[in-house]
Amino acid sequence: MPHCFAQDAQDAIDLHIIESPSLEDWLAGQDGATGDWVRLNGFSGNLGQTLLVPANGDRAVMALAGYGTAAKRARTHFPLAAAATKLPGGTYRIASGLSGDVAETECLGWLLSGYRFDRYKSKSDKTVALVPPHGVNAGRVTILAEAETMIRDLVNTPASDMSPQDLADAATALAHSHGAEITTILGDELIERNFPLIHTVGRAAATPPRLIDMRWGERGPKLTLVGKGVCFDTGGLNLKPGSSMGLMKKDMGGAAHVLGIARMIMAMKLPLRLRVLIPAVENSVSGASFRPGDILASRKGLTVENNNTDAEGRLVLADALALASEDKPDLILSMATLTGAARVAVGSDIAPFYTDDDADALALSASAARVDDPVWRMPFHDAYESKIEPANADLDNAPSGGFAGSITAALFLRRFVSDARYMHFDIYAWQSVNAPARPRGGVGTGARAVFDALPAMLKL
């Protein structure tokens, strides 16, 4: 991540962040030569504009960053990042124009504006450093940026290099770096240990299915994060068309997100007992594939009529949620790239979530607004329970009709949670077009909001 916080403020260039309606007021306080230079170069304060103002010789005495209007800023998550990417390499110090209430988010955007998924490309050597503004916790912002970078890198990595084994390796590296314990239940051992749904979904792949189990912390409330780790999803025997399969490397986005949240928690040393469960599989096609119409057993004892092999994410999560409940945590939170219905409802930028706890919903919504990581509460609508109850088994993984697909998926998952507060996120984990600090590709959605809300939800 070539954009960073400066370790040394010496020789930093003063950066003035200027809203377009305030440009003339700002110029009124400058000398005539500066005003002439700004006008000559056509700087208007539009969002993303930059301008270096020289002193004697070539050295810049200051830099200007356009901050546009409030209406324009509302259309992007990290407005200052639009300018940060255009500044030449160097160290900058914010001299004016950034209010304290958005400083942390804008500093995070500054760091993330340097993100590139360059694992397979030549790397940039340009560094644009920022002196942390007064009142901004640079250590916290760096942790958030590193966690977001990890989420993006995991999602962006193609399935050829992000198999269930690779995902387990990434989780293991994270665990070891923070002193967490980690175990893996692999292949046929899943049957022996009573995780039949995880085994069923992953048994057709060349890389065996597994359940990753990470624990950290010795005191405080118990939090269990469960992330969907479908490293590639062909759709199984209900094969996806090619147009729908192209992005299925991101179907482990839920796993990437819970690992990112775990990284934030462990790096910030929150006083809680954390558990992370990731069922890691590939949904592939072979003679061992599970079939439409199969009646499947689950860890909880509920049977599932499999009416679509492309509704596999809720199956692997079901066994993991049943295990999570056995530990009686204070909160279980699952994240999954689960349904297209959620995208139709709220698009790619908003993380829809489900909970029966009004206080948790309010805390999460407040955090989402504070850190500019939008979420939206969806209903566990009990009247739709009958839609997930087929004739031949306890549950249906793919109700017919096409309506309320995200809700019925959430209701399905809730059936596997016992005696615990539960929150579920149906996320997209992908940025479809380039935006400031959010290039096209994998992206965190809801992770920062969750992390910010944990102290309120768990009374830390």
CATH of 3-136 given 3.30.365.10, 3.30.420.310, 3.40.220.10, 3.30.2020.30: 3.40.220.10
* pLDDT tens for the chain, residues 1 to 460: 568 999 878 889 999 999 999 999 999 999 999 999 999 999 999 999 999 999 766 678 899 999 999 999 999 999 999 999 999 999 999 999 998 889 999 999 999 999 999 999 987 777 899 999 999 999 999 999 999 999 999 999 999 999 999 999 999 999 999 999 999 999 999 999 999 999 999 999 999 999 999 999 999 999 999 999 999 999 999 999 999 999 999 999 999 999 999 999 999 999 999 999 999 999 999 999 999 999 999 999 999 999 999 999 999 999 999 999 999 999 999 999 999 999 999 999 999 999 999 999 999 999 999 999 999 999 999 999 999 999 999 999 999 988 999 999 999 999 999 999 999 999 999 999 999 999 999 999 999 999 999 999 999 9
Domain boundaries, the chain: 3-136, 143-457
Q: How far is CA 288 from CA 97, 201, 202, 339, 457, in A?
A: 61, 10, 9, 25, 43
CA distance 102 to 96: 13
Active site residue 328: no
Query: Would you call 228 a catalytic residue per the annotation?
Result: no
Check 152, 299, 314, 415 and give the catalytic one: 314
Third-level CATH fold of 143-457? Aminopeptidase (3.40.630)
SS3 438: strand
Pick from 326, 389, 309: which is nearest to 194 by CA? 326
Q: Which of 86, 140, 240, 343 is catalytic?
A: 240
Place of tokens 């293991």: 172
Q: How far apart are the first and last CA of the chain?
A: 31
Are both 3-136 and 143-457 of the same fold? no
